[in-house]
Every structure is written in C-alpha cells, then in structure tokens.
C-alpha cells in the first residue's frame, strides 16, 4: 500500500460517521437559558410583541422603540391607522345594538350581585373604555356577567349581610374587584395563563350549567315577587326558601303573569333570531323593548299599588370615585384576597374562551397573556370608580359579532350610550318591574347550558365527563365554591393520575421507512432484534412517576430475556440494548443502573434542550458512554451495528 493510500485510509478511520456527528450535535448544544433569563424574555415578549425582532436595538431609534412599546400595550394605536368610514358605520350599529342589550342586563346582574342597580351600569362605563384601548379582541363585549355576579354575591355575603348593611357589603365587593384585577394583571405579566387552564373545558361546561340553574332558581324571587332570607345557593335550600315564602307570605300573581309573559316574548325572539341570522337584532333589542313596555304598563295601570314589585330609585350621574371605600385593612382581608383570586380565574376563563372563539372565526391570533393584562387593568380601574368585576360576555359578544363589528370601538359606542342613559334616562326606570329583570336574566341562561357539548365530552373522554359531572353537581347541591373546588380537584386528579402512571409505548420500525411507531397502534411495525425501544407518553418525569417508569421498563427488559429463554418471544436475541425516546421526558439515572446490573445497555434519543443540559450536569452522559442520538435508528446502528433493512 502506497503512502497516499495509507493516508487516505487513516483519514477514513478518523472521519466520524453521520450518526456520530449527529450525536455530537446533540451533546454539544449550548446551555439553555436560566430561569431569570426566561422571565425577562417572557416579559419582553408581552411588551414588545409588536416590535420587529429581526433588527437589533441599535438599529432602532429611541422614539421608535417607545412607539413600539405603546403599540404593544395599546393595540388601538395600530388598528386606528387603517380605520375607515365604512368600519365606523358597522361599529356604530353594533355598538348601539349591544348597548340596547347591556343596559337592562346590567341592571339585572347588579341585583343578582346584590348591589344597587346603578352599579351594573357603572360597570359598563370604565372597564369597556380601558379594554377598547388595551384589549386585542375585536369582537368581545365587556361588562358584568351572570356567573361572576352569582360568584361574588354567594361568597361576599358570608362576610357581610347585604340586607343588614348594604354600604359595607358594597365596599367589600369593590375591594374584591381590586384584588381580582391585581391577580389578572399579574397573571398576564408573569405569563401564568396556564393557571386558567386548570379549569378545563369540560369542567367549565359543568360549572356553567350548574351555575345557570342556580341563577334561574334565584330569579324566582323576582319573578314571583316574593322575599326570602337564605344565604345558601344550593338547589335544595333555594327551593325550600321559595316554597316557604309562597305558603307563609302574601304574594301577588301579577308579578308572575307579567314576568312570564315577557319571558315568553324574549325566548321567542331568541328562537326567531337563531333561525334567521338576518334578524339577529331582534333578540338584541328585545330586553330593552321589554323594559320599556313593562315600565309603561306598570306606570299606566299603577300596578305597583297592587303588589307588583318595582325597581324604584336608580341613582343618576356618572361613576363616583370609590378609592376611599376600598377595605384594604378589613378584618376579612385574607378572605377578600381569596375571593378575588377565585373570581379572577373564573372571569379570565370566560373572557379568554369567548375571545378565542370569535378570533378563530375571524382568523386572527388572540394573545392570552395580553388579554389577562388588559382585563386586570380595567378591573383595577373599575374598583376605583364604583364598578364590580367585569369580563367578556358571551351573549353580548355573539350579538356584537352578528351585528358586524369591525373593531373594539363598539365598546366605546356602548359606553357613550350608557353614559347618556345614566345622565338622562334613569328616572324613567323608576316603575320598571323586578319581574322583567328576572325574566331577562332567565332568558340569557339557556346559552350557559350546553347539553350537546356535554354529550360530545362524554363520547370523547369519560374522565373529562366525570369532572364535568362533579363540577355540575358540586354547584347544584353544594355551593358555587364547592363546585369550583370539585372542578379544580378533579382537574388536578386527572393530571396526577396521568403523571403517576403514564402510558409507555414499545416502538418498532415501520417497514420501508425510517419511522419508529407504537407497535400496538401500528401492528406492521417490527421490533429490532435484541433492542427494546420505548417512549413514555408524559411530558414530565418526577418523583411521582419515576419509580413506576423505571420498574416497568426494567421488568419488560428482563421478561424479554426470560421469555426468550423459553422460546415464546418474537425477537430472536435477548435484550442487549434499551433505547429511550426522550422527546417527552426528563432524566433516568436509576434506570441505567438497574439495566446495567442486567448487562443491558441504555441509549437515549431525541432529548430536549434542557434535558441534554441535565444529562451533562448529572454525569449520566459519561456513565452511558455518550450513547445519546438523534434517532432510534442511529442508536441501534451505533450500539449493536444494526443496518435495519426491515
């Protein structure tokens, strides 16, 4: 052999194979960013998401960076540049339409929250204006909603009786609103949106359905014109109080006749609007028409003199400042913070679900963390201006969408209409019957009970349906708090169960490809002789499931050898190598030691960035002699010399 041939042969021996190069790419990846850096980056992403990330900061002037930050915080600065007269016409009509719906609904929701009627109107002034400037949803309509109103009244009244001292009760509600806004803004700034996801879709469906039934039962008080004293919200207590009042206290049937008549009218308009999309405006203006007609009927017939309960005085004028009414140092401060946190999560869940639903239809992305920040800021401002917790209303948002809204300007149009009502029209509502407000709330409840979605959840995931049922029954027979507790507990239980005992897939090579798939899902997949390739169907390996995973894999590997000795296993060789697909997992040092004691090698494929760093720090890479690869095929080739012509 000549010197030239000898040199070429030597270079060939020293040249790494393609699999070895890929292995070095995996092991030589740079260290991932630390926790502090990730927090800083996430904050920048929220604030500067509209900025041009492809350019360095040196290429931007200071003024442009300021503009970029302002545009990110206030999206109105972006869409207002392309605003046209045609868009304004559509937003004007949509804003007037949702205003006609929100005025009577807000008065009803305020009574549901056990506040004076004007506070419902106040909540439709300050929060929607702030959201119009800071919110990223084009369709969402901001204001009070039924579930949050029920949640506040059911929890705050345990600290202060609203009938004994309505002023003290109102001040506690303002304080809860402040805490809810602080939590919501913090969730957005710290990118803690995953906390909202603990209330899964199935749990929300069950919770909303249970809350809708409880709200409907509580409206029997207004619909029948009766009074009862119970602070409990479960179905048994409410029905018992209603029947006790009916049989022991005088009541006027005129309330029931008036309320049911307009309830039938409201439901009929909803049916007409649902069947004919062009008549969407009918169910939107029906509540306002009901208020006007019923008020005229009571005024002209003097029905209030014959037992019909009326709203009476509604304070006129704009929102008064309430900063001095906040009870920061109240003896119940800890309880108020807890209530604020619960209300914050429920309100965010509803708002983000509503916003994302319509954003998907319109084909644009809704930033959940920005939504949390804007909703938090608007509720903080609302607590300082006599408002209670506001969020996105599904019914009003659906009307807004159907009315052809183009931007968040519809909220500003709605606010102007409400301000005019507060300044000039509240005196006209003196004779509005309580039964009409109850019928308006009841007519909005069917949208909260989604039987079709519950059936779909039952078909798809029985465990999710169990969580749905638990939340529903918890609200119905316990309380709103118990329903929430059951909902969160069952969501956690599902996470824990799937984490403690995650599924483990045995992988085989699909003939004619380089793909490795689950042999149970793909029966044509062939396991490599002498190789056990597994993948854990869990994104997390922790103390809760590490022992289960380690014992299951080692048991499979050892049983394969024993079965092989008896001649009843499909593989022709005993297990010499265990390949662990790390695309969904963290670290496995004890499994390596257990396999080593059985003379079985361990190789790792496709580890995540952070996992590679942990493998290096724990010295597991050295212990397994660098057997870290990109694919299962490379691992089998390098460790056992398989060429895999399967």
Within 215-301, strands assigned E span none
CA angle (394 as vertex; 393, 399 as ends), nearest 5:
100
Burial class of residue 194 in the structure, from the number of CB atoms within 10 Å of its CB (0-12 exposed, 13-18 middle, 19+ buried): exposed
Q: Average model confidence (pLDDT) for the chain?
A: 81
Instruction: Tell me if 142 sits within 8 A of 127, measured CB to CB.
Output: yes
Tokens 């909005």, located at residue: 444
Give the distance, in angstroms, between the CA of residue 172 and the centroid of all CA atoms in the same chain: 26
Q: Which residue has the higher pLDDT, 386 or 586?
A: 386
Range 559-583 average pLDDT:
57
Cβ-count burial 120-155 (b if 16+ within 10 Å, e if not) = bbbbbbbbbbbbbbbbbbbbbbbbbbbbbbbbbbbb
pLDDT, tens digit (0-9, with 9 covering 90-100), for 129-138: 999 999 989 8
Q: Quote the CA–CA distance of 369 and 373 in Å, as a whole number.
A: 6
**pLDDT at position 582:** 64
Q: Would residue 624 be called left, alpha or beta, if left means φ above 0 and alpha means ψ between -120 and 50 degrees?
A: alpha
Q: Are strands 628-629 and 577-581 parallel, antiparallel or unpaired?
A: unpaired
Of 556, 94, 18, 23, the residue nearest 280 (C-alpha): 94
Q: Which of 61-70, 116-125, 337-346, 586-595 shows the lowest per-residue confidence on average (mean pLDDT)?
A: 586-595
Confidence of residue 281 (pLDDT cuts 50, 70, 90): confident
Q: Report DSSP state, residue 427.
A: G
Of 102, 100, 118, the residue nearest 110 (C-alpha): 118
Burial class of residue 479 in the structure, from the number of CB atoms within 10 Å of its CB (0-12 exposed, 13-18 middle, 19+ buried): buried
Q: Are strands 601-605 and 628-629 parallel, antiparallel or unpaired?
A: parallel
Q: Quote the CA–CA distance of 519 and 507 in Å, as a whole number.
A: 6
Residue 603, token pair as written in the block: 């190789």
CA angle (168 as vertex; 377, 313 as ends), nearest 5:
90
pLDDT, tens digit (0-9, with 9 covering 90-100), for 422-437: 998 888 888 999 899 8
Tokens 């402040």, located at residue: 178
Q: Quote the CA–CA distance of 463 and 469 in Å, as a whole number.
A: 10
Q: Which residue has the higher pLDDT, 164 or 495?
A: 164
For residue 26, count other CB atoms closer than 10 A to its CB. Answer: 21
Q: Which residue has the higher pLDDT, 632 or 452?
A: 452
Q: Quote the CA–CA distance of 287 and 320 in Å, as a whole number.
A: 27
Residues 6+ apart with CB under 8 A from 531: 575, 576, 577, 578, 579, 636, 640, 642
Range 603-631 average pLDDT:
75
Kindly state the greatest CA–CA separation across the chain: 120
Report in angstroms the alpha-carbon separations of 60 from 40, 47, 63, 69. Answer: 20, 16, 8, 12
Q: Quote the CA–CA distance of 464 and 491 in Å, as a whole number.
A: 8
Q: 3-class SS at 419?
A: helix
Within 145-185, strands assigned E span none
Q: Which of 63-77, 380-394, 495-509 shows the lowest per-residue confidence on average (mean pLDDT)?
A: 495-509
pLDDT, tens digit (0-9, with 9 covering 90-100), for 172-216: 999 999 999 999 999 988 877 666 666 777 888 888 898 889 888
pLDDT, tens digit (0-9, with 9 covering 90-100), for 368-405: 888 899 999 999 999 999 999 999 988 888 888 888 88
Instruction: Tell me if 440 sits within 8 A of 105, measured CB to CB.
Output: yes
**pLDDT at position 644:** 46
**pLDDT at position 515:** 80
Instruction: Tell me if 539 sits within 8 A of 573, measured CB to CB.
Output: no
Report, in this order, helix, strand and coil percent for the chain, each rounded to 5: 65, 5, 30
Q: Quote the CA–CA distance of 115 and 340 in Å, as a whole number.
A: 17
Q: Are strands 504-509 and 391-392 parallel, antiparallel or unpaired?
A: unpaired
Instruction: Tell me if 506 sits within 8 A of 518, measured CB to CB.
Output: yes
Instruction: Tell me if 260 sits within 8 A of 297, measured CB to CB.
Output: no
Q: Is the pLDDT of residue 112 over 80?
A: yes
Q: Which residues, in sequence order, are bridge partners of residue 509?
A: 516, 526
The secondary element (H helix, E strand) that includes residue 533 is strand 531-536
Q: Is the pLDDT of residue 59 over 60?
A: no
**pLDDT at position 56:** 45
Cβ-count burial 513-537 (b if 16+ within 10 Å, e if not) = eeebbbbeeeeebbbbbbbbbbbbe
Of 313, 318, 300, the residue nearest 427 (C-alpha): 313
Q: Is the pLDDT of residue 44 over 80?
A: no
pLDDT, tens digit (0-9, with 9 covering 90-100), for 255-271: 899 999 999 999 999 89
Residue 28, token pair as written in the block: 């030589």
């Amino acid at each position: 052999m000549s010197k030239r041939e000898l040199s070429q042969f030597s270079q060939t021996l020293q040249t790494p194979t393609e699999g070895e190069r890929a292995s070095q790419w995996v092991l030589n990846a740079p260290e991932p960013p630390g926790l502090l850096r990730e927090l800083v980056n996430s904050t920048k992403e929220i604030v500067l998401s509209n900025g041009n990330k492809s350019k360095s900061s040196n290429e931007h002037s200071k003024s442009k960076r300021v503009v970029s930050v302002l545009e990110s915080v206030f999206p109105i600065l972006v869409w207002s540049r392309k605003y046209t007269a045609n868009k304004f016409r559509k937003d004007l009509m949509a804003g007037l339409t949702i205003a006609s719906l929100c005025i009577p609904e807000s008065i009803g929701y305020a009574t549901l929250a056990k506040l004076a009627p004007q506070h419902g109107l106040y909540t439709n002034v300050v929060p929607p204006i702030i959201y119009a400037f800071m919110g990223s949803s084009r369709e969402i309509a901001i204001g009070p909603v039924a579930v949050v109103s029920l949640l506040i009244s059911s929890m705050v009244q345990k600290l202060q009786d609203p009938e004994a001292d309505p002023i003290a009760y109102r001040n506690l509600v303002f304080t809860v609103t402040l805490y809810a806004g602080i939590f919501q803004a913090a969730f957005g700034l710290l990118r803690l949106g995953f906390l909202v996801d603990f209330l899964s879709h199935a749990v929300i469906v069950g919770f909303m359905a249970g809350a809708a039934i409880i709200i409907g039962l509580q409206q029997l008080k207004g619909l029948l014109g009766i009074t009862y004293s119970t602070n409990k919200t479960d179905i048994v207590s409410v029905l018992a109080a209603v029947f006790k009042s009916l049989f022991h206290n005088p009541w006027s049937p005129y309330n029931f006749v008036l309320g049911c008549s307009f309830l039938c009218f409201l439901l009929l308009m909803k049916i007409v609007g649902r069947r004919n999309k062009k008549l969407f405006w009918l169910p939107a203006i029906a509540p306002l028409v009901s208020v006007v007609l019923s008020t005229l009927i009571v005024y002209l017939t003097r029905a209030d003199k014959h037992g019909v309960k009326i709203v009476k005085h509604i304070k006129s004028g704009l929102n008064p400042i309430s900063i001095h009414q906040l009870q920061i140092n109240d003896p119940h401060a800890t309880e108020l913070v807890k209530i604020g946190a619960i209300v914050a999560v429920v309100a965010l869940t509803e708002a983000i679900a509503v916003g994302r639903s319509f954003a998907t239809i319109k084909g644009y992305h809704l930033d959940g963390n920005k939504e949390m920040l804007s909703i938090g800021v608007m509720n903080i401002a609302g607590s300082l201006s006599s408002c209670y917790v506001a969020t996105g209303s599904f019914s009003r948002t659906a009307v807004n969408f159907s009315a052809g809204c183009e931007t968040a300007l519809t909220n500003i149009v709605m606010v102007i209409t409400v301000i005019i009502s507060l300044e000039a029209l509240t005196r006209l509502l003196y004779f509005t019957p309580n039964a009409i407000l109850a019928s308006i709330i009841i007519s909005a409840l069917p949208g909260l009970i989604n039987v079709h979605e519950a059936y779909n959840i039952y078909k798809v995931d029985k465990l999710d349906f169990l969580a749905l049922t638990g939340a529903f029954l918890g609200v119905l027979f316990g309380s709103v708090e118990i329903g929430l507790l059951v909902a969160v507990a069952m969501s956690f239980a599902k996470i824990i169960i799937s984490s403690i005992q995650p599924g483990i897939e045995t992988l085989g090579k699909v003939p004619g490809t380089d793909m490795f798939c689950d042999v149970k899902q793909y029966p044509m997949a062939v396991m490599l002789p002498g190789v056990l390739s597994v993948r854990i169907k869990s994104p997390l390996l922790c103390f809760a499931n590490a022992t289960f995973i380690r014992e299951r894999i080692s048991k499979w590997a050892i049983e394969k050898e024993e079965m092989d000795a008896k001649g009843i296993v499909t593989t022709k060789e005993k297990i010499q190598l265990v390949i662990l697909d790390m695309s969904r997992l963290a670290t496995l040092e004890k499994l390596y030691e257990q396999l080593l004691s059985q003379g079985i090698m361990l190789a790792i494929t496709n580890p995540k960035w952070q996992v590679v760093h942990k493998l290096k720090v724990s010295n597991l890479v050295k212990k397994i002699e660098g057997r870290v690869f990109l694919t299962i095929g490379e691992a089998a080739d390098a460790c056992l010399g398989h060429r895999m012509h399967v």
